[in-house]
Structure 1
Amino acid sequence: MVEKDRVINNINYIFKKYSGKEELEAEINKLQSHILELELDVNTANKRYEKSAASEKRAVAAKQGAEEKLKAAEVKLRSLEHELEKCKKDVPGQLSFTRKDMFNKKQAHELLQSLSSIEYPAASLLTVHIAAGGKPENIQDYGKLVEELDSETLAMIGKVSSSTGLVLFYSPDHLVNELIVPPLPLKRSYWTKGNTFDTDSLLESIKENVSMSVLVAHAGESFVGYSFDSEEFDSFQVIKSSVKAKHAKGGFSQRRFERLRDEDIAHHIDKVKLSLKELLEEFEENIDYLFLAGDLQLAKEMTSDVPLDIEQVFSSSDIRIEKHYVQDILNQLLVYRRYRL
């Protein structure tokens, strides 16, 4: 057990050393505390404004000053969070992917068939399944798995962002060292070691035709649709609203403009919520997944009223809405991402 903990700690040290993640996380924690203080200042300023008509000008100035400081801190926080994500993905030196590919079902099937044909005389081929929302360290017998994999491969697994899980195919001679991210969520985390790779679950998922509702969220133009068999849309709607572009200048005019823009976006969210609600009610008996794409923060607001029993899948695909190429939305959602180490 002591040896297992030492190996895991060494791996964590290597990843943090390469990524600079620790310093960024500390800075983000400081900023989040500062933002909390600024939010309290804003609340205090609001209360002063409400209570004292005589000191209205001072209250307004204090309120505006606190809001500007809060906005500046939030911008800095988003910038640091972006840098942290970049550090996770851009580990320097030898820790990089040699290939990144996007495969459709046919291409993914061909790749998996090729992997399944590989056979070693010794039972040394590893297949690691990590379920949606899971982490490598939560896999049963993780200590033994660490002994089978090199530290660089473990670090690279941590670089891949996936809401659906991933599968690692690994040979000790590094002839095969690939990660596959499927479009549909993996249900179970486990690993196997044998003469061949375990490709059965992914091959089965390729054959599976699921029913899916789709939301592609963008400010001003969003898409909702439904497919019974994930082959083509049986129903869809493009929802458009007039949303102002972002203001380039500063000052009071910018704040007023942004407030109007926020109102436009809120109106658009309400329109999309209504369309999505009608779609889900129409096909509620036949929905396996709700796919969300586009602006994911906006999509979360649009789905705040969606029943919890509908499993949501967050897609990282940058999908643009082209009414004459609606089928392409499904094609982009149902891709298999492949990373070769």
Structure 2
Amino acid sequence: MLDRLLGRASLRERIDELEAENERLQNRYEAESERRADAATARQDAEERVNRLEDRIAQLEGELERVDTDESGLTVRRRDQLRGPRLEGVLDRLTSIRTGPEGALTAGVDDAVPESVRADLEDVLGDRVALAEEAAPCLCCVDDAGLLAVTLEPPITPDIGATWRDRFALEREWFLPTGRHAVALVRTDLFALGVYEDDERVDYRGFESDVKGSHSKGGFSQARFERIRDGQIDEHLERCRDALAAYESGGERADTPLFLVGQRGTVDALVDESGLEPTATAAVDATGDPKPALADAVHSFWTTELRVL
């Protein structure tokens, strides 16, 4: 009775209505947030599936190429991954071979093979020149009698064209860690740089950055998540540029080869944005903490694939 007389009853009813409306809007907001989070997760799942399918397509295309090669009778007789003492032994054998004047051809084979290089290879290999092109970029070593024909995919592939000599034109520093050099590993969340004397590491610096991983259900949208992650990656790459600049400004880089390896897109972005001129770059798969990841990257980088044609 008193509430009605004082007008409290209508106010309480209005409060109840507003609380009910507020609860309804809150439920709607939570449902919408859940829907967007589900959509973002579904998008990530779809992207991962697309990546897996693209990998599978690439694998099947490779298998199809091998089938086509098999049907044409062109097959690689042997394929091997070489590093360390085993690689040294193979290089020793190849460099010990002697022929008559201009009897040993060493040719750099790139994706676009110059006609002059292709003509020299075809003179000796015939149709098997296609096997050398499949290995590109590589070095092809073949003698004029056709007794030996191999391709090598070294970490550093020089631009030597087609070179005819009485021995194969191979330099050990294209294949093996020689003298003082540096290897820098770059991922979107990690940097590690080692300075080496031959294959022994004599200096090291590295760090990790806090970069968000895959987006999952949460209180912010996929777009905001991606903006945050892109910003974190930019900050990480800035740290990488500063670390490399400090290495170079310290006088250590003078005449010292620098090999930049890691995730291909990250390596390319770092080179483009920093003005670096590394001796060579390579895509390698190196996971884990900085030091063991660097060790894996160095192992992968200094590996040469041998194909016996």
Normalised by the length of structure 1, the TM-score is: 0.60
Residue deviations 1:146-185 (CA, integer Å, cap 9, x gap): 232222x2222222254xxx22233578653321122234
SS of 1:303 mapped into structure 2: helix
Match of 1:330 in 2: 298
SS of 1:114 mapped into structure 2: helix
| Alpha-carbon distance, 1:240 to partner | 0.9
Asked if 1:339 is matched to 2:299, the reply is: no
Q: Flag the 1:170–1:85 CA change in 2: closer, same or farther, 3 A.
A: farther
Query: In 1, Cα distance between the equivalents of 2:255 and 2:233?
Result: 28
Query: In 1, Cα distance between the equivalents of 2:56 and 2:257?
Result: 29
Match of 1:319 in 2: 286
Match of 2:15 in 1: none
**8 Å contact from structure 1 (residues 211, 286) kept in 2:** no
Match of 1:128 in 2: 106
Query: In 1, Cα distance between the equivalents of 2:165 and 2:124?
Result: 10
**8 Å contact from structure 2 (residues 207, 290) kept in 1:** no
RMSD: 4.0
Query: In 1, Cα distance between the equivalents of 2:51 and 2:177?
Result: 42
Asked if 1:224 is matched to 2:193, the reply is: yes
Match of 1:169 in 2: 141
Q: Flag the 1:305–1:337 CA change in 2: closer, same or farther, 3 A.
A: same
| Alpha-carbon distance, 1:285 to partner | 4.7
> Greater RCO between the two (CA within 8 Å, min separation 6)?
2
Q: Flag the 1:149–1:225 CA change in 2: closer, same or farther, 3 A.
A: same
**8 Å contact from structure 1 (residues 177, 340) kept in 2:** yes
| Gap runs ≥5 in structure 1 | 1-71
Larger Rg: 2
**8 Å contact from structure 1 (residues 213, 225) kept in 2:** yes
Q: Size of the alignment, in residue pairs?
A: 256
Match of 2:125 in 1: 149
Match of 1:199 in 2: 168
Query: In 1, Cα distance between the equivalents of 2:118 and 2:287?
Result: 40
| Alpha-carbon distance, 1:116 to partner | 4.6
| Gap runs ≥5 in structure 2 | 1-45
Asked if 1:109 is matched to 2:109, the reply is: no
| Alpha-carbon distance, 1:333 to partner | 2.2
Query: In 2, Cα distance between the equivalents of 1:280 and 1:242?
Result: 25
Residue deviations 1:243-292 (CA, integer Å, cap 9, x gap): 1112267xx82222222221221121112111111112113552443212
Query: In 2, Cα distance between the equivalents of 1:287 and 1:319?
Result: 27
Normalised by the length of structure 2, the TM-score is: 0.65
**8 Å contact from structure 1 (residues 226, 279) kept in 2:** no
Query: In 2, Cα distance between the equivalents of 1:144 and 1:186?
Result: 18
| Alpha-carbon distance, 1:145 to partner | 3.4
Asked if 1:181 is matched to 2:153, the reply is: yes
